[in-house]
Structure 1
Amino acid sequence: MSALVLALVAGAVIGLALGALGGGGSVLAVPALIYLLGFTAVVATTASLVIVTLTSVTALVAHAGDGHVRWRTGLLFAAAGIGPAMLGGALAGQLPEAVLTVSFAVVAGVAALRMLRSRRVVESAVTVRPGRAAAAGAGLGAVTGVLGVGGGFLAVPALVGVLGLRMRDAVGTSLLVITVNSLAALATRAGTVEELDWAVVGPFVGAAILGAWDGKRLSAKVSGHTLQRIFAVLLLSVAVFMLIDAVL
């Protein structure tokens, strides 16, 4: 199968996940770029940031149009995580790769199980305390900085489980958090963007953007409780895969 076809298929799947679930971009994009398209790890992470940033902005606009983005909460959540993420990134350089992989798998698995065990909640608006949003964002920033991936996959469980947002609002707000974090990370890699193979990355981005619109339409047809369970199962699957890959 040609690189172009693989890029289109992978991009569509990643866009669908971001649009419907508000996360999964980097966790799915990096392995696809490395294992399917032959990118090196460094180039793959940079390409992933470009793909996730552009796709998240598209999905964010779509969800914002339906009023499912908590702007103040999302911006506070994201801003509070920037400093801890930078510190976490510095700490990550001192830890073995296997330790980082296992740690992420454990954190992701715990988040998934918590979402699976949560009871069905009434889809009503909630008031989020700024202090709690900042604390949750700082914690997520630290974890994301240390483990390298997991912005959306960990943001949604945090927004639902810690801050009490409705699943639909958590999906939309997570896209805002992902966009801010991806732009911040991409700014530190501006010099490597020109090294990307745009003949592959371009179609990948295009397919992801189209997939994000389809994911947004899918999320509108599925209940928040069902979305939450789908997200949790997908997150748990990724956690198990990463744990097995780190151990074997």
Structure 2
Amino acid sequence: MSAVILALAAGAVIGLALGALGGGGSVLAVPALIYLLGFTPVAATTASLVIVSVTSATALAGHAREGGVRWGTGLLFAAAGIVPAMLGGAAAGRLPNTVLTGAFAVVAAVAAIRMLRRRPAPESHRPVRPGRAAAAGAGLGAVTGVLGVGGGFLAVPALVGVVGLRMRAAVGTSLLVITVNSLAALALRAGTADGLDWAVIGPFAGAAILGAWDGKCLASKVSGPALQRIFALVLLAVAAFMLIDAVAV
């Protein structure tokens, strides 16, 4: 199967996840780029940031038009996580790859289990405390920095469980957090963009954008609790895959 066809298929799946669930893009993009398309880990991480940034921004626009984004909370989350993410990234350089992969799997599994066990989020927003939002954003930034991902798969559980947003608002707001964090990380990785295969990245990103629109339509037809369960199951699958990969190494 050609690289372009694989890129189109992988991009469609990742866009669907981002549009419907508000996260999971970078988690799926990096393995797809490495295992399906033959990118090196460094190139895959940089390429995934390009893909996730564009796709998240596109999906964010759709959610914003329907009032599904809590801008203040999202910007506070993103701003509070910038410095912890930088410190976490510095610490990650001193950790073995197997430790990082195992830690990623554990964090994803814990987030998924918490979402499966908690009661459905309220159908109306409750007041958001800036302190709690900033603290959660800082913690998310630190974990994102250490694990080297966009953080959307952790942003949704944090926005639901810590801040108290209902699922649909958490989905839209997480896209704002993903977009800001991905663009910031991409700016720091500008030097690693040389030599990227844009003939593959272009179709990948295009399919992801189209998939994100379909994902948004899916989100409008599925109940909040159902989206929460789907998201948790996706996290468990990712955690299992990465744990197996860490043990195999």
TM-score range for the pair, normalised by the shorter chain length: over 0.9
- Is the partner of 2:127 in helix, strand or coil? coil
What is the CA-CA distance between 1:192 and the residue it aligns to? 2.7
Aligned to 2:165: 165
1:134 aligns with 2:134: yes
Count residues in correspondence: 248
CA distance in 1, matches of 2:95, 2:32: 25
CA distance in 2, matches of 1:141, 1:3: 33
Aligned to 2:61: 61
For 2:49, give the aligned amino acid.
Answer: L
What is the CA-CA distance between 1:95 and the residue it aligns to? 1.1
- Is the partner of 1:91 in helix, strand or coil? helix
Aligned to 1:145: 145
What is the CA-CA distance between 1:56 and the residue it aligns to? 0.2
Listed as ranges, the matches of 1:1-248 within 5 Å are 1-149=1-149, 151-248=151-248
* Structure 2 gap ranges (5+): none
* Structure 1 gap ranges (5+): none
**Which range moved further: 149-158 or 77-86?**
149-158
Asked if the contact 2:150/2:181 (under 8 Å) is kept, the reply is: no
Q: Once the two structures are aligned, what percentage of the paired residues are identical?
A: 81
Asked if the contact 2:152/2:174 (under 8 Å) is kept, the reply is: yes
CA distance in 2, matches of 1:193, 1:244: 30
What is the CA-CA distance between 1:150 and the residue it aligns to? 5.3
CA distance in 2, matches of 1:27, 1:121: 24
TM-score using structure 1 length: 0.98
Aligned-pair Cα RMSD in Å: 0.9
CA distance in 2, matches of 1:139, 1:5: 38
- Is the partner of 1:126 in helix, strand or coil? coil
CA distance in 2, matches of 1:60, 1:232: 21
CA distance in 2, matches of 1:96, 1:191: 23
What is the CA-CA distance between 1:99 and the residue it aligns to? 1.0
What is the CA-CA distance between 1:140 and the residue it aligns to? 0.6
CA distance in 1, matches of 2:55, 2:122: 30
